Structure formats: C-alpha cells, structure tokens
C-alpha cells in the first residue's frame, strides 16, 4: 500500500482551521499509514490548535493586508516572497501527493508553490463569497470544494464540486448528550438555555448587546452560555453568576449545542454549516467587518429557506428584545426554524471532499 503524504493549510480563524483538521482526520481514517503536515501563519491560532489535534505544523512569516497604510502593509511583499521560498522548500522536502487549502493567509503561498511544482491542489471554500486568496488560487487548482451554489462567478465552473463544509462529527447526534451537557455546565434542566457564539476571537457588538440585555433575559427565566471570545474575556467575566456561564473559548462544542434551546451566532461559514446540522432556532447577527460582507450573505441563504432569523448590527438596539422575546414565547416558530435549517445540512461533507482528494492520488 502506498504511503501517501498530505499537506493541509488553513488558518487565521477557527473557520479555516477546523475544516482542515476535519479533512485530515477523515484522510487518516481512510489511509492510516499516511503522513500529514500542516502549514499555517506564525503567531496565529493554528500554531496551537493543530498540535492539540495531534498534527505537526510549520509556520510561515505571512499576514494579510490591512485596510489602511501600515508598516505591516509595507512589509507584505517581503513576507510574501519569504513565504513563497519557504513553501517551496517545505514541498521539496516533504514531497506531498496532494496539497489542500482551506483559506487563510498561509494557504496562498503554499498552494501557489505546490501548483508551480506540479503537485495536485484542492481548495475548500467555506463561504458564499470567496476571499481573494482562493479566487487567485482557483485558476491552477485541480478541484474546488464549495458549500454554496452559484460560485461560477468566481471559480472555473468545471472545477467546482458542491460538498458542504466539513463539520465536527461529534455534532451529528447531540440530542443524546443533553443531560450530560447541562450537568457539565452546572445548569438547571428546567430552564431554557440561550447559547451566544461570537466566534473564536469574540465579537464586540454581540458582547455589548448581551451585557445590555442580560438582566431582561434572566427575568424571562433563561440561562445563558456566553462565549465572549479571548479578546474580551477579561472585560466580561464579571458577569459569571448562577444562571450565566461566561467563557472565552469552547472546547466541547457538542455540549454547548446539546444544552442550547436558542442560539445567537455570528454567521461565519463553519458556524452556519454546524448550525444546520445542530438544527436549533438561531438568530444570526452577521459581522459587517468582513470582506464583501460575506457573513450577511451566508446568513441570508438560511433566512431565504425560512431556517433562521437575521438581525443586522444596526437593528439591534431597536429590534433585538422584541425579536428575542417573540421567539422565546413561540414554540411553533422555534420548531419551524429548527425543521427548515436541518433541511440544509450536509453532514457528509468531509467524506465527499476526501473523495475528491482521492481522485487526485
């Protein structure tokens, strides 16, 4: 049996890292003797998260362009050139059979170097609106695995495969974990649980909203698991109390999803894909500060299928408490949202992506 080698690259946020880890895990299950190497950006969260998942990672000296003139931007050409050289060196040494990119700064130079060396590449695009790195890489990629339809505007049509986004397999059956999850967080099994997700780094506007509305929520007999993010934990940990659990980062996503009755979330691509599988009523508050406003587009795709509620940041002060209270009281609406979002789930995405990778071996 051939001893295959795979390089995976993706990072900057959990939305790029976890799909890469999920793909590696599935490849490992199918090719137990395969060798794996991850390539990320130095000083980004993948440098911790990938080794925790049991894989080796090398870091490139790369960062994205800022929107204003900064020293970082002036350094960008040097960083890019250095990262391309380092990527070529890594590929020459490791000799991968296939290179897989899930987005983020580091995947740019790495997939560029792989394509230049004649090694097959696969792009996994999570969003309904691709980033600039994947648009550029798509010209040379062998396959482009996407989670949304209508991406022919950005990618060569003949390379696109609709697969969905890889999600953690422990989310497939969360109903059976509810009691364990409630006990894990020390919650009351008779109260409704609100789960607030701001993404791995946190969301300032969502945190401000929850702080403002917390008293009102608790008065409606609701308990809260509030993931405020690493950047904001020091500021918001003071709100930890009997019916409120403030956490910076969540290791057991299956537990928080199992405990939740209603979810408030940003609309990053991975979160949206997970929430389709979890099938709980969701209020999306998309981040307006992302390229091409892709979070709003991700959320809108679910809303169009009557599977979620969308509130823009600009509407929160006037609309949130009305919308939240109405949803909490309306069991029929909760069930409708639940049923409709589940119809959009693609639980086999990781296997379908790995099938595309295997065609290139």
Binding residues, as ranges, are 13-15, 127, 168, 200, 250, 295
Question: Are 121 and 137 spatial neighbours (Cβ–Cβ below 8 Å)?
Answer: yes
74: burial class by Cβ within 10 Å (0-12, 13-18, 19+)? exposed
Q: Which of 11, 83, 8 is nearest to 45 (CA)?
A: 11
Contact partners, residue 338, CB within 8 Å, separation at least 6: 279, 280, 281
Question: Are 4 and 361 spatial neighbours (Cβ–Cβ below 8 Å)?
Answer: yes
Q: What's the rounded Cα separation, in Å, for the pair 9 and 107?
A: 5
Q: How many CB atoms lie within 10 A of CB 82?
A: 15
DSSP string for 12-74: SSHHHHHHHHHHHHHHHHH-TT-EEEEEEETTSTHHHHHHHTT--EEEES--PPPSS--HHHH
Q: Residues marked as binding for UDP-N-acetyl-alpha-D-glucosamine?
A: 13-15, 127, 168, 200, 250, 295
Q: In what order do the strands lie in the sheet with 282-284?
A: 244-247, 222-227, 192-197, 262-265, 282-284, 309-310
Query: CA–CA distance from 203 to each of 187, 248, 284, 317 (Å)?
Result: 24, 11, 13, 16
Question: Are 174 and 274 spatial neighbours (Cβ–Cβ below 8 Å)?
Answer: no
Q: What's the rounded Cα separation, in Å, for the pair 104 and 299?
A: 21
Q: What's the rounded Cα separation, in Å, for the pair 352 and 121?
A: 16
């Amino acid at each position: 049996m051939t001893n295959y080698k795979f390089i995976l690259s993706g990072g900057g946020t959990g939305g790029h890292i976890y799909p890469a880890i999920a793909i590696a895990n599935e490849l490992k299950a199918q090719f137990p003797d395969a060798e794996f190497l991850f390539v990320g950006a130095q000083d980004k969260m993948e440098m911790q998260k990938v080794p925790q998942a049991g894989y080796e990672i090398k870091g490139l000296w790369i960062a994205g362009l800022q929107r204003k003139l900064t020293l970082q931007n002036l350094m960008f050409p040097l960083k890019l050139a250095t990262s391309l050289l380092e990527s070529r060196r890594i590929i020459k040494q490791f000799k991968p059979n296939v290179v897989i990119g899930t987005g983020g700064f580091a995947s740019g130079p790495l997939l560029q170097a792989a394509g230049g060396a004649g090694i097959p590449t696969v792009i996994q695009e999570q969003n309904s609106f691709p980033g600039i790195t994947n648009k550029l890489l798509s010209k040379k990629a062998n396959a482009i695995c996407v989670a949304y339809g209508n991406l022919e505007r950005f990618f060569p049509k003949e390379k696109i495969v609709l697969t969905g986004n890889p999600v953690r397999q422990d989310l497939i059956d969360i109903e059976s974990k509810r009691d364990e999850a409630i006990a894990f967080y020390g919650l009351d099994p008779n109260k409704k649980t609100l789960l607030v997700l701001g993404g791995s780094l946190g969301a300032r506007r969502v945190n401000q909203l929850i702080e403002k509305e917390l008293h009102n929520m608790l008065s409606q007999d609701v308990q809260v698991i509030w993931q405020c993010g690493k950047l904001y934990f020091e500021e918001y940990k003071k709100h930890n109390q009997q019916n409120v659990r403030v956490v910076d980062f969540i290791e057991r996503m299956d537990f928080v999803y199992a405990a939740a009755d209603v979810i408030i979330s940003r609309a990053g691509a991975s979160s949206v894909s997970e929430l389709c599988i979890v099938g709980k009523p969701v209020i999306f508050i998309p981040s307006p500060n992302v390229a091409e406003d892709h979070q709003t587009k991700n959320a809108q795709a679910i809303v169009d299928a009557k599977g979620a509620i969308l509130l823009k940041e600009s509407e929160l002060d006037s609309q949130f408490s009305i919308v939240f209270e109405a949803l909490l009281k309306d069991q029929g609406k909760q069930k409708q949202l639940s049923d409709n979002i589940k119809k959009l789930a693609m639980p086999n995405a990781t296997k379908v992506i790995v099938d595309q990778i295997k065609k290139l071996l």
